[in-house]
Chain A
Amino acid sequence: MIEVLSSFCILVGLVFGFWGTSSLLGSRSVLFKLHNLSVSDTLGSISIIVGLLFLRPREWPLLLLAIISLMLWNTMLGYVLASCSSDAVKNQHDVLYFDPDFEIGDES
């Protein structure tokens, strides 16, 4: 029974893994991909580690540490990537459209 449960958790994790990364190949925006990726990577990885926990209950401290660090770090990395990439895009827009020599009424 434990092994069926463990195999099921590992399978769910793999499905999440493939689903998340397949959105990388599309042509959507960075933030859309980032959302898909961080959700699927985090949940998929935690599901796989829970499956591993069923197999080796003796090693629960280390696997629990892996789950906690995954939850913290993946979430933080997703936030940092989102904030940094959107700032970078904003800066590019400012540089492109702000023309210091442009005078109001100067239609040329």
Chain B
Amino acid sequence: MTSVMMTVLNIAIIAMTLSILIPMYAAWKDEDIWQTMLSMASISTKSSLIVLMLSVLRDDWMIGVSGVIMISVGNAGFMLLAHILKRMGEA
């Protein structure tokens, strides 16, 4: 990979990190649990994407595998949490 592409990927990773700050602020600002869940779901997807970009940058595919696992496990965990919150709302 050329140095130009490495620079592009570095800038993209920094931009992605900045774009994670928006849902973090939204999660901190909102009282409604469902808005917070939305923000956290966005944070989980974006952080797993940063991990994947890092694995391409470093050409280290153990990091890549963990990024893919984070995509699945992060979203699955939120699904379970959403059902728990719904049950708590009913109780």
Q: Please give the residue numbers on chain A whose beta carbons come within 8 Å of chain B beta carbons, in ascending order.
A: 3, 6-7, 10-11, 14, 17-18, 20-22, 24-25, 30, 33-34, 37, 41, 45, 48-49, 52, 55-56, 59, 62-63, 65-66, 69-70, 73-74, 76-77, 80-81, 84-85, 87-88, 91-92
Would you call A14 and B16 a contact (CB within 8 A)? yes
A interface, by DSSP: helix, strand, loop or mixed? helix
Chain B interface size range: 35 or more
A-B contact count (CB 8 A): 134
Apart from A17-B16, A56-B59, A88-B34, 18 more pairs, CB < 8 Å = A7-B5, A10-B12, A21-B42, A22-B22, A24-B22, A24-B35, A25-B29, A34-B38, A55-B1, A55-B5, A56-B1, A66-B68, A66-B71, A73-B72, A77-B41, A80-B78, A81-B82, A84-B83
Known: A45-B49, A81-B34, A81-B41. A74 touches B65 (CB 8 A): no
Would you call A41 and B52 a contact (CB within 8 A)? no
Closest 6 CB pairs of A and B: A73-B75, A85-B34, A88-B89, A24-B26, A84-B86, A21-B22
